[in-house]
A and B are shown apart, each in its own frame.
Chain A
Amino acid sequence: MADKLTRRGFLRGCAAGGCAAALLPASCADAANVPTKMGGIWHTPEARYYEKLEESRVRCLLCPNKCEVGDQERGYCGVRENRGGTYVTLVHGNPCARHIDPIEKKPLFHFLPGTYAYSIATAGCNIECLFCQNWEISQVRPEQTRNYNLPPDRLVADALLPRSSYFTRGAIRSRTIAYTYSEPVVYYEYMYDTSKLARQKGLESVMISNGFICREPMEKLCEVLSGVKIDLKAYTERFYKELCHGRLKPVLDTLKLLAAKKMWFELVYLVIPTHNDDPREVREMAKWIHGELGPDVPLHFSAFFPTYKLRNLQRTPPATVERLYNTAKAQGLRYVYVGNVSRPGGHPGESTYCPKCGTCVVQRIRYNVARVRIRNGKCSHCGTKIPGVWDGVASKS
């Protein structure tokens, strides 16, 4: 190519490039260079889902913690503050992380495979898992993170721009905005407003959450989301209480709600040695999933590595993850996966198989999709419907 380029052609190209750059919409140029600031909090709109109590106190109704918060105090999440009896959110338009990730990294395996998600997070979380992998942002306040000034309109404009990342070859356009890394429930208003706007611009929205949210806000959120991933930490209240400072029942209620709303969702179960790796417990959980949510809900077993306050344990042995994978499969769940288990050429448990003919319909190697054999939501070999969001529309078998 270079030997065909004349001097005149080169100059013409430069001039055209300069003009194009000058004529780019201002919003796009601004969005590409989003200012950041340590502890930057630019927007503090009033929070939704709370009630006012006497003596300037408020009760938050967003998550099952239902924090009662005095004036100038914050809820358990650390990002919602009572200011003279008005509850405000400190993270609306102030994300502290934004990256382009493969959708498989969330992990969402039945949701537009091979596409990328513009992924954001703010500070804060409404539970505290001792094994949190992102505790540097989830267990701190927005003053303690470097934040972007990205209100919903700028965020959507930014997400629409082609971008390159560690995971991509060259610039690509994201198909989805993913609310992830920390806990999206605590930046509910930001997620809702952005998702609503994103849908108008042709972008899907997915929430990567612990599912610890009250029914009413979750119902409302279903109107603007296209997919959800829920971390089911364990299947015992004891685990939730002792290792997460949370509760299991509200999470199960959220899952039932998602199923009733026909929202596409997948589950992740982080296998922590000695804490939640008992096959009997997993068998009970798989039975519950099969009975209450159906056999088509994907369940990902993921290996743990020592971090945050749980550094005294070993990594989860691959054999343990594989044993639980087989346990869940034996209970009739059709789409069970393994994660965080390295194997040269990829682990067979990372791929999707047709439940009828056994064809590998989506072959994955870590976060990469090697091959897709799904046409119009059906196995290209036998025509069996594979549940998921394959072309922007959720389909269930």
Chain B
Amino acid sequence: MSRHRNPQFPCLGRRELLKAGLAAGAGALLPAARSLAAADKTRVVAASSPKVFRDERTLDQAAVQELVDKAVASLLGEKDATAAWKRLAKPSDTVGIKVNCLAGTKLSTRIEVVRAIADGLRRAGVPAKQILVWDRKKGDLARAKYPLDDRREFRCVGNDQVGFHDRLILKGEIGSLFSKLVTHHCSVIINVPVFKDHDLAGVSVALKSFFGAIHNPNKYHFGNLHQAICDVNRVRQICGKTVVHLCDATFGCAHAGPTPAPRWLERLGTIYASRDPVALDQCAWQKIEALRKARGLPPLVGSKREPRHIALAAKHFVGTNDPERIDLTTVEV
């Protein structure tokens, strides 16, 4: 997929759009081409390694680095991880790494994963000062033990420090101000959500993570939640700038989220990587359902908490949730 996107269809890359158009045209003409179009699947990589755990709670930085590199290289079909990182960001880019640090040290994006991503970006030539690790509040980053004052590897910033762009963006259900990090500062965004259950949305992975980019997420936690999640991801400043979603599933939870409850914490040692947030969420949801089943919990599907935002986002062409069109590759490191 090209990083450059068609402004009319910001959720699709130029190359994807052409491919889809050609495939559709060919599909209409030739039965054989239909199978070709079907073969063009969205990739989701689930890279796992038991070596990432140093002990019950901490991660091994070198093993995490290897895991993240492998996930990104595998996703982009590169043998060399640095070459893969170079395809995601140019040295002139300002890269925003969107983390999810709501849940303190227990269930936030792990600092080891962020360090591995920042390292990959620096190898691709992006200077440390142009790598911004961001979330809603500086206080959230501090509680997750991010190094706020150490700028050698990256810079940590909260929306509360940079503020929100003063133009109200209206899209479907939402009317929000977006963080200046999204509208002004970053040319490229890497989304690094956490793998977790959510008490209202069902799951909170790649799509839900961008609630951290708007000024009023509290307004969308009621009946309009699923549509709002979908609509935030349809805004051009989000889908046009996000080049990859790397879900931190080293630790996760399949129940009682999004706040961390120790007894529901899962040690998975996995990184999910995809350029399609809908496909990634679909795969993460299936994994959460499997974990819930293993623990004897009722499924989310059919319940009040069914993550309907995934299907809604697919309906709005943010990505695909069709299992037939998702190529889930498992990589053991």
A residues at B contact (CB < 8 Å)? 39, 55-57, 65, 67-68, 70-78, 128, 130, 139-141, 143-144, 245, 308-309
Contacts and interface: CB of A to CB of B under 8 A. Distances in A.
Q: A56, A74, A128: which has the most chain B beta carbons within 10 Å?
A: A128
Given A39-B160, A143-B137, A55 B218 contact: no
A139 B175 CA distance: 10
Interface string B168-184: 10100001010000000
A78 B175 contact: no
Contacts of B221: 67, 76
B305 interface: no
Nearest to A71: B259
Contacts of B224: 245
B170 A139 contact: no
B216 A55 contact: no
Interface in B161-206: 163-164, 168, 170, 175, 177, 199
B175 A55 contact: no
Nearest to A136: B166
B218 A74 contact: yes
A70 B175 contact: no
Contacts of B261: 55
Interface in B233-250: none
Contacts of A140: 177, 215-216
B175 A76 contact: no
A73 B199 CA distance: 12
Contacts of B215: 140-141, 144
A128 B177 CA distance: 15
SS class, residues of chain A in contact with chain B: loop
A55 B256 contact: yes
Interface of B: 102-104, 137, 140, 160, 163-164, 168, 170, 175, 177, 199, 215-216, 218-219, 221-222, 224, 256, 258-259, 261
Given A143-B137, A144-B164, A70 B259 contact: yes
A139 B216 contact: yes
Given A72-B259, A309-B170, A144 B163 contact: yes
Nearest to A56: B259
Nearest to B216: A139
A309 B174 CA distance: 10
A272 B215 CA distance: 27
Given A141-B216, A245-B219, 16 more contacts: A55-B259, A55-B261, A67-B221, A71-B103, A71-B259, A72-B102, A72-B259, A73-B102, A76-B219, A78-B216, A78-B218, A130-B175, A140-B215, A144-B164, A144-B177, A245-B224
A139 B102 CA distance: 21
Nearest to A127: B219
A128 B219 contact: yes
Nearest to A81: B218
B160 A143 contact: yes
Contacts of A65: 222
Given A76-B222, A143-B160, A308-B175, A70 B258 contact: yes
Contacts of B218: 74-78, 141
Contacts of B177: 140, 144
A78 B222 CA distance: 13
Contacts of B160: 39, 143-144
Contacts of A67: 221
Contacts of A78: 216, 218-219
A245 B259 contact: no
A292 B222 CA distance: 32
A140 B168 CA distance: 12
What are the 9 A-B residue pairs with the smallest beta carbon separation, nearest first?
A: A78-B218, A71-B259, A70-B259, A309-B175, A143-B160, A74-B218, A128-B219, A76-B218, A72-B102
A141 B103 CA distance: 20
